[in-house]
Each structure stands twice: as structure tokens, then as C-alpha cells.
Amino acid sequence: MLNSTLYREGTDGQEKEQQIREALIKAMVEHQLLPGSKLPEEALAEAFGISRTGIRKVLTRLATVQMVNMTPKKGAYVANPSAEESAMIFKSRMLIELGNLPEVIRRLNEKDIAGLEEILAQEHRASHDRDMAAAIRYSALFHTRLHAVAGNTVLNDIITNLTLRSSLVIAAWGSQWQQGCNESDHQQLLHALREKDLMALSALMQQHFGNITGSLNFNRKKSPTPDFRKLFSC
């Protein structure tokens, strides 16, 4: 359940829409809104306490980053990537992330390493506690924080968007308890980062993406309609 009090009080229209957009993305990434789930404007407007026009603006913005599909006369749905699209998403991530590693290593410092270590500690706790939502969140954060080291904000926006879409792929095609990336893979990547070993880091990153795509099972899952009031209310 996501607390929606902040969407109702003390915020202007634009800020409120931004907060709702972030809440919907969080619910998608944490698999509380599964791929293919219908996003009815009326139910969402009631859950967040805003107009249908405001919700439509939020959904339109999410459609521009391919987190939502909008179809005339059918409405909006959480994006449901096909097997082919899923493969392209991970291939794109691999090409971009591998290309960014030399700059990451060049700029990496002890503070960056400490931040990544803390993320892995949080990922480990979430995995141990079987907290799937938190494990997915920290798994994605490891990658975005790693590439933020390079200082290229444009590239980091691209990686962040692809990482979000990857989480939808795992929601669509991953096993019930798949928690994003393999925790041991991240530990190996961090070791290579400490050593600033570009060759080993690149090989491990390729293996890492291979492990993720190899774990996907391309059989459709049903996407039940959630209770939006329960999901986004106190």
C-alpha cells in the first residue's frame, strides 16, 4: 500500500501530477501494478483525489517514456513488453552500460564505492527478508548509481528509463520470486570496480545481462485488476 496523503494536501497541480507519476512508476517497478494492468482514469482519479483530466495528463506523460500504453476507446494500460521488445531493451542496456564503463572507472572514488556497498547491503537485506519490491528497487538503484558516477546526465536519464522498462520486463516474464538482478552478480561487479579492472568488469557485465535474460520465461501471465484505493491510499 502506498501512502497518497501527499497527493491531496499542500501541493500545486504540477507538483501533484509529478508525485502521482512517481507513485505509479514505483508501483509498476515494484510489481504492484503488473504489465498489462488496465489503468482506468475514474478509479485512479478517485484514489488520488484529482480530476480525470489530471490523471489523463499523468498517463500521457508515462506513455511518452513507454511505461504506459494508451489506445483510443480502450484506455490506458501498464506497458506489456513482448519477448522481442524485452530482448531489445536488455541488448540496448548492455551496449550503453558497457560503453559507459571506461568513464565510470576513470571517475570512480571511495565515496562512490561506499555508496554502492550500502545499496548492496540493502539489496541483501531485502532478498533475505523476501521483500521482492525492495529487492527490485535496490537492484535497479545499483545500476543507475553506478552509471551516475560518469557524470553524464543525458546518458544517465537514458539508463534510468531503460532500467525502469527492464523492471517491467522482469514483471512480465520473470519467475514469481525473481528479484531483479542476481545479488552475487552485483558483488562481483563491485569487486571489479574496486580493482578498476575494465576488462573483468566488462566481461562480468555481459555475463550479468546474460544471466537476467536467461532467467526469463516467455509465457504470458494474467494481470489482475488491483484495488486502486487500497494501493494508493493510507
CA distances from 147 to 65, 93, 109, 161, 180 (A): 20, 11, 13, 13, 17
pLDDT at residue 217 in the model: 83
Given the C-alpha cell 525492495, which residue does it identify? Answer: 134
- Single pTM value for the model: 0.79
Helix axes 132-148, 110-128, angle to 10 degrees: 170
Helix axes 13-29, 153-173, angle to 10 degrees: 50
Q: Return the higher-pLDDT residue of 8 and 40.
A: 40
- CA separation for the pair 40, 58 (Å, rounded): 12
Q: Return the higher-pLDDT residue of 14 and 53.
A: 53
Q: Which of 41-50, 88-97, 192-201, 210-219 has the lowest mean pLDDT?
A: 210-219
* Range 92-120 average pLDDT: 97
133-192 confidence digits (pLDDT tens): 778 888 889 999 999 999 999 999 999 999 989 988 887 787 655 555 666 899 999 999
81 is written with which cell numbers?
513488453
Hey, is 143 helix, strand or coil?
helix
Q: Which of 55-59, 133-137, 220-224 has the lowest mean pLDDT?
A: 220-224
Does the pLDDT of residue 7 top 60, yes or no? no
